[in-house]
Amino acid sequence: MSYLNKNNQADNNPSNDLLNVIAPAGVEVDSNSVKIGDYHAKTFFLSAYPRFISSGWFSPVINMAEMMDISIFVHPTDTGMILKKLTRKVAQIESEINEKQEKGIVRDPVLETAHEDVESLRDSLQQAREKLFQVGVYITIYGADRKKLDELQHKMESILESKLIEVRPAIFRQMDALNSVIPISDDKLSVLTPLNSGPASSLFPFISPDLTSENGIMYGVNMHNNSLVLFDRFSLENANSVIFAKSGSGKSYSSKLQILRSLMIGTNVIVIDPENEYKNLADAIGGSYFKISLTSENHVNPFDIPILPEGEDPADVFKSHILNLTGLLKLMFGAITPEEDAIIDRVIIETYASRDITSENFGIGQELNPPLLEDLQVVLENTEGGSSLAKRLEKFTRGSYAGFTNAPTNVDIKNRLIVFSIRDLEEELRPIAMYIILNFVWNLIRSKLKQRVLIIDEAWLMMKNKDSASFLFGLVKRARKYYLGVTCITQDVDDFLRSEYGRPVITNSSMQILLKQSQMSIESVGNAFGLTDGERAFLLECGVGEGLFFAGMKHIAIKIIPSYTEDQIITTDPEQILAIKGLKGEK
C-alpha cells in the first residue's frame, strides 16, 4: 500500500499551482483499489468480446445511475500491415484444416468459423469497407465505502457478463488505470483489443436513449450525455403523462414550461389550477383565466348540453352525460344507498325532460336552455323517496354553496390557453369543482377534434373519492381517440396510488416524469415504476428540476432548463417574483 500527498512534493514551479488546486489532498493506493478523499475507486478494463455484438450493448452501463467514469481509447492501425498479418493467419488456419482432413479427423467448426471471419474481415479491409482499430475501454467506479464499491462492481459485472463481455480489474495497476480514465487523454494502461469499425462504433458513448425527434417540444437536457430531450408526446400510444414530485421540486414549474413550449407548436392547453400558480403565465401570454369560487363571477353549469360530436348517436352521448352527472351528485351527497342511487339516475332524466330535452334531441336542440341544479332539487322534492336527497342538496342550491354550482355557464373558452383556478374554494369543494370543470372540458374536447393538453394539478384530490377517481380514469383512458393528452400532477403520491384507479392512470400514461421524492414516498414510487436501487437513490438526492423522464420503453435522467425569459414568466419563487416586480427591498 502506498500513500501520496501533494503537500510533500517539493515543487515550487508556479505553473503547477492550478494542478495543486485540482488534485486531491492525498491518494491511497493498494493492489485492487484507490482511495481519493472520502471515496473508494476501482478501475476495470474490457478484455474480450463475443463474436457478435449489437448496437447499444454498452447502453446499460452508460445509463447506470451511479458515480462512474468511462474512458474509451481508439487507436487506428496500419491497414497494409494488418492485411499481411491476416493473410498469414488465413494460411495458418487453412493449413490446420487441411492437416485434419488428411488425417481423417472430424471437421472442426471452430476453425471453419475462424477461417470465415478472417476472410470476411480481409475482404472488408481490402475493399475499404472496414478499418481495424486497437480499442481500450476502462471503467472506474466509485463508492463511499468498500461495501458500496463491491455492490456496484457486482452490478456492473453482471450487466457485462450477461452480454458475454469479459471485464477485469487492473490489479496492481490501479493508479495507471485511474490516470487512463481521467480526462487527459493518456492511455497509461494500454490494454487494447483489435476491433473493426462495426464493433468499435457500437461503443459510441452517446448511445443513451436521446429521445430526440424532429417534432415535439424540449423537455430538458439528458443528464447522461447532455443531449437535448426533444419529444412529441402525441407520437406515443397515448399522449397522457404523470408528474410526481415532492413539494418544491419543480413539478408545476416543469408543467408551465411544457405549456409555454406546447403553445408555440400549436397545441391548445387547458389547466385546472388549485393554487393560482398559472395566473402569471396566463396573463403574460393572453390566456383566459377563470376563478371558480363561491363569490366569483365565473360559473360552470354541470347540466350544460354538450355539442354533439360528429358521428356519435345522441342517445349514447345523453347516456354518458347522465352517468357523469350521477357521479357528480354522488360526490356532493357523500354516502348514498342503492335505492337513492336509482332515484338520482331517474330524476336527472326527468329534470332534462322538464325542459323538453330527451335522448332523441340531446345535443341537437342547442336553442333549448339547460336546467340548473335547483331544477333537479325541485324534481327530487316531488319524487317519492327523494325528499332527503333534496334537503342534502339545498346547501348547493340555496345555501352557502349556491353561487358555485347553481348558475348558468358564462365562461368564454375561445382561447388557446384556458386556466380554471379553484384556490379560493373550501377544501371539501375542490374535488367537486374539479369534477364539474373536467366534465365541462370533456364535453368541449369531444365537440371538435384538435390537439389539446389537459393539465390537472394536484390530481390526488380527484383520487380521494371513488366516483371522481373513476371519472378521471375514464377520461384518461378515452383521451387518445379525441387527440387529447392528460397530465396528472401530484405531490401526494401515496394518496394517489392508494386509490384503486391510481395505478391504472399511471399504466395509461405513456409519459412519466419523476422529480425529487421524499423519503416517505420513495418506496411507493419505486414499486409503482419498477425503479432500481440506483434510480431510487438518485430521486432522493437530485436537485430541483432534476429527475427521471420516461417515454414508452425509454427512460433517462433529465434536468429541466428554461431560458431566461421563460423563467421570468413561470417562476413561483417569492424572492424572484419580488425582484421582477422591483420590490425586492420591500420585505
| 252-274 confidence digits (pLDDT tens) | 899 999 999 999 999 999 999 98
Confidence at residue 207, expressed as pLDDT on a 0 to 100 scale: 46
Q: Write out the H or E segment, with its range, that includes residue 113.
A: helix 109-126
Question: Longest Cα pair distance anywhere in the chain, in angstroms?
Answer: 107
Q: What angle do CA 331, 334, 336 make, to 5 degrees?
A: 110
**Contact at 8 Å (CB) between 333 and 437?**
no
Which ranges of 398-479 does DSSP label H, i.e. alpha helix? 402-405, 430-447, 460-463, 466-478
Predicted pLDDT at 12:
57
What is residue 584's predicted lDDT score, i.e. its pLDDT?
45
C-alpha cell at 375: 331544477
Are 445 and 482 a contacting pair, CB within 8 Å?
yes
Task: Please give the single-letter amino acid code of residue 549.
Answer: F
Q: Output the nine-digit C-alpha cell for 403.
A: 353561487
Pairwise CA distance, residues 481 & 478, whole Å: 6
pLDDT number for residue 244: 93
> Bridge-partner residues for 417, per DSSP?
269
Bridge partner list, 196: 132
CA separation for the pair 302, 443 (Å, rounded)? 10
Low-confidence ranges of the chain (pLDDT < 50): 6, 8-10, 206-208, 584-587
**Hey, what amino acid is at 81?**
M
Residues 6+ positions from 335 with CB-CB distance below 8 Å: none
Q: pLDDT at position 486, please?
A: 95
- What are the boundaries of each domain within the chain? 2-70+136-185, 239-291+415-580, 301-408
306 secondary structure, DSSP code: P
The yes or no reply on domain 239-291+415-580 and CATH 3.40.50.300 is yes
Alpha carbons 138 and 140: distance in angstroms, whole number? 7
Q: For residue 338, what is its C-alpha cell? A: 342503492
pLDDT at 583: 52
Distance from C-alpha of 417 to C-alpha of 255, rounded to nearest angstrom: 13
Reported as type and span, the H/E element at residue 421 is strand 417-421
Residues 374, 397 contacting (CB under 8 angstroms):
yes
pTM for the whole thing? 0.64
CATH of region 301-408, choose from 1.20.1600.10, 1.10.8.730, 3.40.50.10090, 3.30.420.10:
1.10.8.730
